[in-house]
A and B are shown apart, each in its own frame.
Chain A
Amino acid sequence: MYRYDEFDHQFVRERTSQFADQAQRRLSGELTEDEFRPLRLMNGLYLQLHAYMLRIAIPYGTLSARQMRQLAMIARKWDKNYGHFTTRQNIQFNWIKLEDTAAILAALADVEMHAIQTSGNCIRNVTTDHWAGAAADEIADPRPVGELLRQWSSLHPEFSFLPRKFKIAVTGAPNDRAAVKVHDIGLRMHHDENGARGWEVMVGGGQGRTPVIAVTVRDFLPENELLAYLEAIMRVYNLYGRRDNKYKARIKILVHEIGPDKFRQEVEAEYAKRPKQETEVEEKELARIAAYFASPAFEKLSRWSARFEEARTGNKDFAQWVRTNIAAHRVDGYAIVNISLKPVGGIPGDASAEQMDVAADLAEKYSFGEVRVSHAQNLVLPHVKRDDLFAVWQALVAAEMATANYGLAGDIIACPGLDYCALATARAIPVSQSISRKFADIDWQQDIGPLKINISGCINACGHHHVGHIGILGLDKKGEEYYQITLGGSSSEEASIGSILGPGFAGPDVADAIEKIVNTYMGLRQPGEEFLSAYRRVGPQPFKEALYATA
């Protein structure tokens, strides 16, 4: 894992004391709320419906056990004993007092964390594959580049007042788990015909009001030219992105309005002007960072673990969990453990301080001290010996973190919605809970197979409903919450935007509607055919008939 050096420490300390000064001036009344607003937003502090919310960056979703324990401490000391992991691999604390924020940021700085640029019209926390460094299909660990981008984008003087927020995602594997095609910039590592590594650069994807799949502006960008090329993209966007309407200000609108070809020309023209000398230091810096992400000291193990097989045969619940929550590791004898933060009837992404401590303990004991946060609001122990899986599972069961629904119907992504968020038009959490309870039977979920259900409480789409296999959008119709259902979305390497199925449903009826959709799929699927494939084959008609046919 990356460790701060003296410069990184000093940078975060200076930023923290600067913000402490600003918060003090707000508390003393020297700054009005209007003047304080842009300052606090640049440090991740939002004013929500009931309290301040602090959003803390978890760069590329990677945490050490020590950092996770510090988050637990913050939850205990300054929040209501829990935190909420978000779809940007960050964590939010929902019940923060303004006078405590300086102390919280200082506590974060102690463990090499911060809240810089988790908000505002700037480059946000870079996200990546939550299985980075562990996945069997990976070409290269994308986290060193994630760290390079974190540093490069931190307080970038040219790009801190963009037309709108800006999100970058990176994947080092062909199977895209980072949803790069629905980001402002998506980067996919691959090899050219000579075996050299480089990036496919995609621009203009996004969700929100106008969901768009990104277009490729460069098929292959040599690895060492990345920052110079990103500077060119950012400059074109900063100069020509729309600023007259905040709903048309994302880069996807610029790409769409001038067309991908013209956009590419502008970027390449700007790029051609960059001095060549830029790359040397960046290469050295990337190499310096990459050394921190060196592979942990894996033992030489057999692929076969007798202890694991014995436990699996002897315990049905463990076997059930193994079926869904374990993924293939690139090293023999190891596995990736996906910890579901989606208990039946729970709030997606919420974790108590005790649960965070359990995750930290398990990471320390079994996973080289590392935990990951996934954009699906779950946690990951990336490097667990197959021999240890049963012990890990037992500890997770005791902490109520062993729900065997990873990637299934109960693994719902939901934004905080109207229960917390000042922008929301409808609640997302109760709908998520009712669906979760409807599909409480894990055997049934496993029979249904991979299914992504995403819920957003407003059109801004923080719950990524556009790319859910089943997407649910909460809206307000004359003071009543109602929910629109879309089908066929995906954020994978074969990304697609879901289509609206028909008229919306009242909150209490949503879970039944989802059940009907799922039963329709179960009735028409071919052997081994997953929900999304089945939908793509048959289209919306059978689902419409099931939902809207008059009796």
Chain B
Amino acid sequence: MPLLRLNGFVTDTWVHLGDADALPASGDIVVPYARLLREWEQLLKHDGRLGAVFPNIDRVEALTLFLPRLALIVLPFPSFTDGRAYSLARQLREIGYRGELRAAGNVLPDQLQFMRQVGFDSFDVSDRFEASVWLKASRQMSLAYQRGLYRPAGETEVWSERHREAEPWLEQPHAG
């Protein structure tokens, strides 16, 4: 699966470990959430950055303790119609998570912009489409009515634009 960031395909430098895979001596690793819970003490000492795959069934508050140490959180989309991860992503950004937030699973071009807007900044995508298709899809709409979304420069927040004299939404770092 190619890894997409907001400028195009990149090489995934993370090592993805299952529940039983041996820990490498060093390097960036991603583990399932259950393993994070189980081996937290040991993982804290790991020489390299730490990431976790967080399932759709738990509350983001469960991650609070781990957040300062996490540099990558992967949220799965079991199917593109399952929208739970949109809310989880937003909640993670709202409680202050600033690391990489990756969408995995059934990620399709027509949902890419929504994902980016709620705070995802990397995407495990299928190799069925070229990078240009993805990049075009991520900017299908140049404006949004909702406020506080992640957006690249040049994308318009309609209500903020109409009411420039009002207090701006607390600036959010742009994704990517």
- A residues lining the B interface (CB < 8 Å): 5, 7-8, 10-11, 14-15, 18, 38-39, 121, 151-152, 154-162, 235, 238-239, 243, 273, 275, 277-278, 280-282, 284-285, 288
Q: Closest Cβ of chain A: how far from B60's Cβ, in Å?
A: 9
Within 8 A of A (CB), among B39-82: 80-82
The yes or no answer to B159 lying at the interface (CB within 8 A) is yes
A11 adjacent to B146 (CB under 8 Å): no
Report the interface size class on chain B.
35 or more
Chain A residue numbers with a CB within 8 Å of B94 are: 273
A121 adjacent to B81 (CB under 8 Å): yes
B156 adjacent to A7 (CB under 8 Å): yes
28 chain-A/chain-B pairs, Cβ below 8 angstroms: A7-B161, A7-B162, A11-B141, A14-B141, A14-B142, A121-B81, A152-B145, A156-B145, A156-B146, A157-B86, A157-B113, A157-B144, A157-B146, A157-B149, A158-B87, A158-B118, A159-B83, A159-B86, A160-B83, A161-B86, A235-B87, A235-B90, A239-B84, A243-B84, A277-B170, A280-B167, A281-B169, A288-B162
B110 adjacent to A39 (CB under 8 Å): yes
A157 adjacent to B117 (CB under 8 Å): yes
Q: Closest Cβ of chain A: how far from B169's Cβ, in Å?
A: 7
- Cα distance A247–B156 in the bound complex, in angstroms: 38
- Cα distance A156–B81 in the bound complex, in angstroms: 14
B158 adjacent to A151 (CB under 8 Å): yes
Q: Closest Cβ of chain A: how far from B100's Cβ, in Å?
A: 19
Chain B residue numbers with a CB within 8 Å of A284 are: 162-163, 166
Q: Mark each residue of chain B from 104 to 122: 1 if its CB lies under 8 Å from any CB of chain A, else 0.
A: 0000001101110110000
The yes or no answer to B88 lying at the interface (CB within 8 A) is yes
The yes or no answer to B34 lying at the interface (CB within 8 A) is no
The yes or no answer to B143 lying at the interface (CB within 8 A) is yes
- Cα distance A298–B85 in the bound complex, in angstroms: 51
Chain B residue numbers with a CB within 8 Å of A15 are: 141
The yes or no answer to B147 lying at the interface (CB within 8 A) is yes
* Given A18-B140, A152-B146, A155-B141: A238 touches B84 (CB 8 Å cut-off): yes
- Cα distance A66–B158 in the bound complex, in angstroms: 26
Q: Closest Cβ of chain A: how far from B103's Cβ, in Å?
A: 12
Closest 4 CB pairs of A and B: A161-B83, A157-B114, A157-B117, A151-B145
A282's nearest neighbour on chain B, judged by CB, is B159
Chain B residue numbers with a CB within 8 Å of A155 are: 114, 141, 144-145
A163's nearest neighbour on chain B, judged by CB, is B83
Which one, B81, B90, B91, B163, contacts A281 given CB within 8 A? B163
Which one, A38, A39, A154, A238, contacts B86 given CB within 8 A? A238
Q: Closest Cβ of chain A: how far from B62's Cβ, in Å?
A: 13
Chain A residue numbers with a CB within 8 Å of B81 are: 38, 121, 161
Q: Looking at A18, A159, A281, A285, which has the most chain B CB atoms within 10 Å of its CB?
A: A281
B137's nearest neighbour on chain A, judged by CB, is A18
- Cα distance A26–B95 in the bound complex, in angstroms: 42
The yes or no answer to B160 lying at the interface (CB within 8 A) is yes
B141's nearest neighbour on chain A, judged by CB, is A14
* Given A11-B158, A158-B118: A278 touches B147 (CB 8 Å cut-off): yes
- Cα distance A159–B82 in the bound complex, in angstroms: 11
Q: Closest Cβ of chain A: how far from B116's Cβ, in Å?
A: 8
* Given A7-B161, A239-B87, A280-B167: A161 touches B82 (CB 8 Å cut-off): yes
Q: Closest Cβ of chain B: how far from A39's Cβ, in Å?
A: 6
A281 adjacent to B114 (CB under 8 Å): no
Chain A residue numbers with a CB within 8 Å of B161 are: 7
* Given A7-B162, A157-B114: A14 touches B83 (CB 8 Å cut-off): no
- Cα distance A288–B91 in the bound complex, in angstroms: 30
- Cα distance A284–B141 in the bound complex, in angstroms: 24
* Given A10-B142, A157-B146, A161-B82: A285 touches B159 (CB 8 Å cut-off): yes
* Given A7-B158, A10-B142: A239 touches B166 (CB 8 Å cut-off): no
Chain B residue numbers with a CB within 8 Å of A273 are: 94
Q: Closest Cβ of chain B: how far from A184's Cβ, in Å?
A: 15
A280 adjacent to B166 (CB under 8 Å): yes
B143 adjacent to A7 (CB under 8 Å): yes
- Cα distance A177–B142 in the bound complex, in angstroms: 38
Known interface pairs A155-B144, A160-B86; 8 further A-B residue pairs with C-beta atoms within 8 A, sorted by A's residue number: A18-B141, A151-B158, A238-B83, A273-B94, A277-B167, A281-B147, A281-B169, A284-B166
- Cα distance A39–B147 in the bound complex, in angstroms: 24
Q: Closest Cβ of chain A: how far from B12's Cβ, in Å?
A: 25
Chain B residue numbers with a CB within 8 Å of A278 are: 147-148, 169
A121's nearest neighbour on chain B, judged by CB, is B81
- Cα distance A11–B146 in the bound complex, in angstroms: 13
- Cα distance A130–B110 in the bound complex, in angstroms: 35
Chain A residue numbers with a CB within 8 Å of B84 are: 238-239, 243
A10 adjacent to B166 (CB under 8 Å): no
- Cα distance A376–B82 in the bound complex, in angstroms: 33
A236's nearest neighbour on chain B, judged by CB, is B87
